[in-house]
Amino acid sequence: MKRPRICIYVSDFGYGHAARDIALARELQEALDAEVIVRAGSPAAFMSRSLPCVEVISGQNDPGVVMEGAAVDWGRTFAAVEQWLASWEDYIAAEKAFLRERGIDLVLSDITPQPFLAAEELGIPSLGISNFTWHLIYTHLVGKNELTDRIAEAYRAADGALLLPLHEPMEVFRDRREVGFVARPVTRGRMEIRRLCGLSEGEPLVYLGGGQSLDPTVFRGIRTALAGCTLLTPSWTTIPGAVRVPPGETETQDWIAACDLVVSKPGYSTISEAVQAGVPMLLFRREGFAEDNYLIGGVEEMGIGRELPATAVLDGSWADGLESLMGLQENFGQIDGLFKRDGKKECSSIIGEIL
């Protein structure tokens, strides 16, 4: 019996899409014995290291947005988006040839729009998987126009969408099905990671994250000498006095699970991995990025985190309430069942039905 071939297209905006798609690719291999091919731009090397048995083909899929500090720089974003749109016809023609040549049985996209058009023209089933769309982001920035109409048309070409928790309405998709969190499971124990950080069980460890999409100048001048806790930062940061996730580390969810608090922009993979591990959160908003309303609002509603002004990240004033914030951990026992479901298995079951 022929193994099903699934092609996953991954947004180039940050590494959060890539992290959850790594978890899904592993599940599809195990549950469906699928041959998975990944198309990714900036996260390609990270995905290749994480998925040694998967072919990862490098190439830009979408521009996302350009950040200036913790705010969207619309001028530079618009220039990038215009260039992207001008390349659509060539991109779709190339992907049609690729999908046909490889005998792809199903296309998944998180959440690049053009692959849905290529799949539709070939009669290949396609699904979106995300908690937001670029239609939402760009409409929030510029309103409804020819650009947003074209993106909506591409999303409507999909057969449906798998909606992750904390999602926007995503009404541009015809058929929508809610699934649980898709996150990479923890592979190492809390104490194993804390020993690597030089910490005992009782010493508070706080993950300070911004994500690859955030302008690194956000962290310049940050106060690191905080009373009562040690900061853990991503491998790409250079914050004096903080413990860094080792460069080349792929299973970063293990490091988040070893923490007592997450302080971060509301990146979806960071939030889902924190929820999975029962780690409370302080989240600072990205100005102009509409997804944050759904992520921060959902976390606050569950009582497992709070919103934080971006200025408080720099001056360290958030640490004054560290004990109270860590106490939010007790609320994880009451969160909705949707957030405890295994979205990876739900997605693979739906995909298996289609195949």
The 3-class secondary structure across the chain, one letter per residue, is CCCCEEEEEECCCCCHHHHHHHHHHHHHHHHHCCEEEEEECCCHHHHHHHCCCCEEEECCCCCCCCEECCEECHHHHHHHHHHHHHCHHHHHHHHHHHHHHHCCCEEEEECCCHHHHHHHHHCCCEEEEECCCHHHHHHHHHCCCHHHHHHHHHHHCCCEEEECCCCCCCCCCCCEEECCECCCCCCCCHHHHHHHCCCCCCCCEEEEECCCCCCHHHHCCCCCCCCCCEEEECCCCCCCCCEECCCCCCCCHHHHHCCCEEEECCCHHHHHHHHHHCCCEEECCCECCCHHHHHHHHHHHHCCEEECCHHHHHHCHHHHHHHHHHHHHHHHHHCCHHHHCEHHHHHHHHHHHHC
Looking at the predicted structure, is the pLDDT value of residue 218 above 90? no
Structure tokens that stand for 81 in this block: 């988006």
Residue 311 pLDDT level (bands cut at 50, 70, 90)? confident
Q: Which pTM was predicted?
A: 0.94
CB-based burial, 86-110: b 16+ in 10 Å, e otherwise? eeeeebbeebbebbeeeebbbbbbb
Q: Quick one: pLDDT at residue 224?
A: 57
pLDDT at 50 over 90: yes
pLDDT value for 90: 97
- pLDDT, tens only, 34-43: 999 999 999 9
**What local confidence, expressed as pLDDT, does residue 187 receive?**
96
Percent residues over pLDDT 90 in the chain: 79
- The CATH code that applies to domain 190-340 is 3.40.50.2000
Helices 146-156 and 74-86 pack at an angle, to 10 degrees, of 60
Beta-bridge partner residues of 323: none
Q: Among residues of the chain, what percentage have pLDDT more than 70? A: 95
**In the chain, where does the domain assigned CATH 3.40.50.2000 lie?**
5-183+341-354, 190-340
> Between residues 132 and 225, which one has the greater pLDDT?
132
Interior angle at CA 227, CA 221 and CA 231, nearest 5: 60
Closest to 332 in 3D by CA, of 268, 283, 276, 292: 276
d(CA 118, CA 171): 21
3.40.50.2000, 3.30.1490.20, 3.40.1500.10, 1.20.272.10: which CATH number matches 5-183+341-354? 3.40.50.2000
pLDDT of residue 209: 84
Model confidence pLDDT, tens digit, residues 141-175? 999 999 899 999 999 999 999 999 999 999 999 99
The owner of tokens 């539709």 is 120
Q: What is the pLDDT of residues 255-273, one digit of tens each?
A: 999 999 999 999 899 999 9
- Asked if residue 216 has pLDDT above 90, the reply is no
pLDDT digits (tens, 9 = 90+) for 77-86: 999 999 999 9
Provide the pairing of β-strand 71-72 with 67-68: antiparallel
Please give the backbone phi and psi of residue 90, each rounded to the nearest 5 degrees, phi first. -65, -40
Please tell me the distance from the alpha carbon of residue 286 to that of residue 283, in angstroms, as a whole number: 10
Cis peptide before 111 (omega within 30 of 0): yes
Predicted confidence (pLDDT) per residue in 75-108, tens digit: 999 999 999 999 999 999 999 999 999 999 999 9
Confidence of residue 337 (pLDDT cuts 50, 70, 90): confident
